[in-house]
Amino acid sequence: MTGRRVVLTGLGVLSSIGNGVTEFTRGLREGRCGAGEITLFDATGFRRQLAHEVRDFDPAEWIRHTPLEELGRASQFSVAATRLAVRDAGLDLAELRGRRGLVTLGTTDGEARELDQLVEAELAAGGPEHLAPTAVRRLPAHRLALAVVRELRLPRAVPSVLGTACAAGNYAIGDGFDAVRSGEADYALVGGSDALARRTFAGFSRLGLVASDRCRPFDAEREGLLTAEGAGVLLLEPLESALARGARIYAELLGYGLNCDAHHPTAPDQESVARCIGLALADAGIKPEEVDLVSAHGTGTRTNDITETRAIREVFGDRPPRTVALKSMLGHSMGAASALGAAASALALAHGFIPPTVNHRSTDPECGVDCVPNHAVEAPLRIVVNNGLAFGGNNASVVLGRYEEDQR
């Protein structure tokens, strides 16, 4: 598909290693790990009780036109991250209100945290008839995007929420990319948001996928993932408008690929993952040898890491690009994960560095990649592939490039 060139000019980030683009960048460079004891719900009875929580978040700082009690934590994240992205792009909301826009957010759990609390409240109250209507209205997942449009008062923006699990952030980015490059929208606010939920933590615990202390992707002694929360929102706009207003350009969005193989409820399929990366490269017009870095899905589970790295080697050959796993720092933030990965990829391109895979001891020989262990390295990157792989075989890869005037 051809059309307008699309660039990324604003980033809004909430994560366990820092909120806002400055702190997030610092955390990536320093190789911070945001793991800690769970405080957002009672983890008593679980054998493992660590997760990655967003700290120092005050929703009242970001939500000004909507009663806070009407929004669940994931919707609060999406509003805050969007405000951060708009501010980071140097745009006035009044400017955006007159333009055709798209607000697409990906999620795995929607407002599952609110559902957890609603069930607890129902049990305590003695029945659903005693529940507050406001609490029930927080539950629909579509509120993650609708809250953004209402709170920021964007009358010409179309809101939508994609529930393609842990690949949803990349799915949302692809949706916005298509809308902007085709001319359907003048800008897009895209990404993902999820809040830490007891239900999700319990599910991964029952699957035996939760690590005892830290997530160690590609490590010979890896045990699994740590669940997380957060939000990442990217502001996309046509290159012409960015240049006209003198905007800082983090990266150019070059292409994306999607597929769904339905191979297995939880296990990824190597051929399908490789095909997805190939679709993204073809859409971007990029050859495998031009890629400098892969931001892997990299969950730290036995199956994912081996399957994904084999797929990467299938695409890139026996000497694949450096391949990092940000979940070692951020945890697995579900629908926000690939959006945060895209944000980190853009920052790596803009600032010329590769964020590390932390908590690393020794690489599993079956993984066979340079995961940039424990310490960031300086590197003049040009092209990055960002992967998002989800249960049910939902795969999404996004290709970002360093903005160069004569790139195409």
- The ranges assigned to domains in the chain are 7-244, 253-401
Give the model's pLDDT for residue 123.
65
How far lies 390's CA from each of 74, 305, 323, 406, in Å?
19, 13, 18, 36
Active-site residue, selected from the candidate residues 33, 166, 215, 276: 166
Amino acid at 247: A
Nearest residue to 215 (alpha-carbon basis) of 333, 72, 64, 381 = 333
Which residue pairs from 17-26 have beta carbons closer than 8 angstroms and sit at least 24 positions apart in sequence? 17/329, 17/330, 19/54, 19/56, 19/57, 19/84, 20/84, 21/84, 21/88, 21/343, 21/347, 24/343, 24/344, 24/347, 25/347, 25/351
Nearest residue to 350 (alpha-carbon basis) of 62, 10, 12 = 10
Element (H, E) at 64: none
Give the helix ranges, DSSP H, for 285-326: 302-316
pLDDT (tens place) for every residue of the chain, 408 residues total: 579 999 999 999 999 999 999 999 999 999 999 999 999 999 999 999 999 999 999 999 999 999 999 999 999 999 999 999 999 999 999 999 999 999 999 999 998 888 877 777 766 766 676 667 777 777 778 899 999 999 999 999 999 999 999 999 999 999 999 999 999 999 999 999 999 999 999 999 999 999 999 999 999 999 999 999 999 999 999 999 999 999 999 999 999 999 999 989 888 999 999 999 999 999 999 999 999 999 999 999 999 999 999 999 999 999 999 999 999 999 999 999 999 999 999 999 999 999 999 999 999 999 999 999 999 999 999 999 999 999 999 999 999 999 987 654
Active-site residue, selected from the candidate residues 215, 276, 332, 367: 332
Could you tell me which residues are beta bridge partners of residue 380?
none
Homologous superfamily (CATH) of 253-401 is Thiolase/Chalcone synthase (3.40.47.10)
pTM for the model stands at 0.96
Residue 4 · residue 254 · CB < 8 Å: no
Q: Is 375 a catalytic residue?
A: no
Residue 156 · residue 97 · CB < 8 Å: yes
Give the model's pLDDT for residue 117.
77
Residue 157 · residue 102 · CB < 8 Å: yes
Give the model's pLDDT for residue 138.
79
Element (H, E) at 139: none
Domains 7-244 and 253-401 in one fold = yes
Active-site residue, selected from the candidate residues 215, 276, 297, 371: 297
Cα separation, 388 vs 180, whole angstroms = 21
7-244: in CATH 3.40.47.10: yes
User: Which positions ≥6 away from 111 have C-beta within 8 Å?
Assistant: 72, 73, 74, 75, 138, 139, 140, 141, 143, 144, 195
Nearest residue to 321 (alpha-carbon basis) of 345, 339, 351, 338 = 345
Residue 89 · residue 21 · CB < 8 Å: no
Nearest residue to 405 (alpha-carbon basis) of 7, 3, 2 = 7
Give the model's pLDDT for residue 179.
98
Q: Is 332 a catalytic residue?
A: yes
Nearest residue to 166 (alpha-carbon basis) of 323, 280, 336, 324 = 336
Give the helix ranges, DSSP H, for 19-128: 21-30, 73-88, 93-97, 112-125
Task: Classify 125 as helix, strand or coil.
Answer: helix
Task: Classify 215 as helix, strand or coil.
Answer: coil
Give the model's pLDDT for residue 324.
98
Task: Classify 182 as helix, strand or coil.
Answer: helix
